[in-house]
A and B are shown apart, each in its own frame.
Chain A
């Protein structure tokens, strides 16, 4: 089935206990992810955006099996992850990898670059030293570093170079899917462009799929084919990149877009489109989770939670406006 998605997620939920210990009951639950479903196709870049704490990283960590979902189903290459044995999961797990936001803390400072980038190989077997070195040199070449860098340590590199090392490491086990969690957020503009181009070039070369997590809407729009906007643990809109900023359907997406400071002094923003802070995920509002901050909210919004449904072909929204089609 060449057209089956690489990754399919259905009804994913994650609640973290709040406080409590071995013997005491938690004081409550952080509803970090609430009923999230989406699919990532082969060769696709799927974007996850939304404000801090909306659950982006938690989704990524569940996909990689780093934390267990409270409920829900994750299928990779047609296989449900929870049905796999430990060994089978281990094998499959190597076909996914993660790139972290912080190039400073995600690399072990005591390891050489050679060790860092070839570590994923050791999970399978112990390749001879010469082979490891060759593999490492090849990987460094792919990400624009030099073989001369093999014996250096992370502190000898700039932020952008460290992120390249992280990318080389992610590529090492020839993954099919890479979860890139804020991969360029810590980088300066000019270096950001280099790393974004690299991420895209490698996708072409290796046929990779990405889950690309970022709070930078312009970066996500540039990199991704489709974009899911999360609010308080749920997806409120799922749009093709071509529609994302041109015709957002969810008032939250529209407000986020309006808040982006445009690098154009001729188009200065009017008053901020959204007041207040995101409510607590411990006790999220009933109905549409966005209704307390929404300038379009009407009666139904505080009573019933709108489902995520297609408004037009390929573009879904969870909003009661216009009979569930959101902004028009």
Chain B
């Protein structure tokens, strides 16, 4: 028996819209072990949120449809679970926090009630017991004067405090898996650092696994033990965090890492240009032959444009969807 908590196998999700079919997630696979933090990075529209919403059965359908795949959580395929069981799992064993807390907090309900609700639903606690517990949690996530704030409404809180309330809501039932979709993107760096530290602390204390979705490579480097890089609906690279940053294999990963300005690296008047990845992400409605990154890739050769590459093993724990793995001699040294 392994300590595997979640495994996604060959998941494909499409959106059928009047403009065409968007292959938002295309045969995505990855695993998450108990207590592990897995980072999922990639640019806007690459399918990060759709992947995570699939886990919870939250894909709007229509227009969305899960075309194929398996999502195993503690051995059970969530895609075959009846809605009742899935609802039971949601909030209890698997919890989620989103980027924009305002869209997931109820604006007309006091925050104490919102944090208490999962306890009443999933743990069968009475109202007062649940509120007491909620106050403890608000205190735990460092909402100042938590007990007095139970009756505050979301709009009375700062962005950072709302995100803390979201975390409290997600954690009250002590889930086995927390899915955090851009949990700090709307926040200032100072508040981001506080929220990330809080998530790490609670995670370590409760042995919870964390699926951390972000486009911020810095956040991933600080938090994750393994990283999945997505591009245009596909996993293009997967590696232990240190390997991804020390020895990125895929040209897209390499391009991303090189295109970021680094603090202290070359200050002043921008006399040096940043490394850019030319062009832009292809529309996922287009039928694409070959590698999806080929139009922007400095190493692309004939095979890249003709055949779609598989995820090839690069080293232990690292895989990359790139023809350079079987054809290392094609990697240009000047790019």
Contact = CB atoms under 8 A, between A and B. Distances in A.
A190 B263 contact: no
A51 B194 CA distance: 14
A256 interface: yes
A51 B188 contact: yes
A155 B23 CA distance: 21
A148 interface: no
B267 to A, nearest CB: 4
B328 interface: no
A218 interface: yes
A159 B194 CA distance: 30
Interface string B60-92: 000000000000000000000000000000000
Given A45-B269, A51-B190, A245-B267, A218 B222 contact: no
Nearest to A246: B264
Contacts of B260: 189, 193, 218, 263
Interface string A253-267: 001111111111110
B280 interface: yes
Nearest to A159: B44
B243 to A, nearest CB: 9
A256 B192 CA distance: 11
A244 B194 CA distance: 23
B274 A193 contact: yes
Nearest to A222: B261
A128 to B, nearest CB: 34
A141 interface: no
Interface string A136-163: 0000000000000000000000111100
Nearest to B217: A263
B221 A262 contact: yes
A232 interface: no
A200 interface: yes
Q: Which 6 A-B pairs have the closest CB atoms?
A: A261-B218, A222-B261, A193-B259, A241-B268, A259-B193, A241-B267
30 contacts: A45-B269, A51-B189, A51-B190, A52-B159, A189-B217, A193-B260, A193-B275, A194-B276, A196-B261, A217-B189, A217-B263, A221-B263, A222-B274, A224-B269, A225-B268, A256-B190, A259-B190, A259-B193, A260-B263, A261-B189, A261-B192, A261-B196, A263-B218, A263-B260, A264-B221, A265-B242, A265-B245, A269-B222, A274-B193, A274-B194
Interface of B: 43-44, 144, 158-161, 188-194, 196-197, 215-222, 241-242, 245, 255-257, 259-270, 273-278, 280-281
Given A255-B190, A263-B220, A264-B245, 14 more contacts: A189-B217, A190-B259, A194-B277, A221-B263, A221-B264, A240-B268, A246-B264, A259-B192, A259-B193, A261-B218, A263-B245, A265-B242, A275-B194, A276-B144
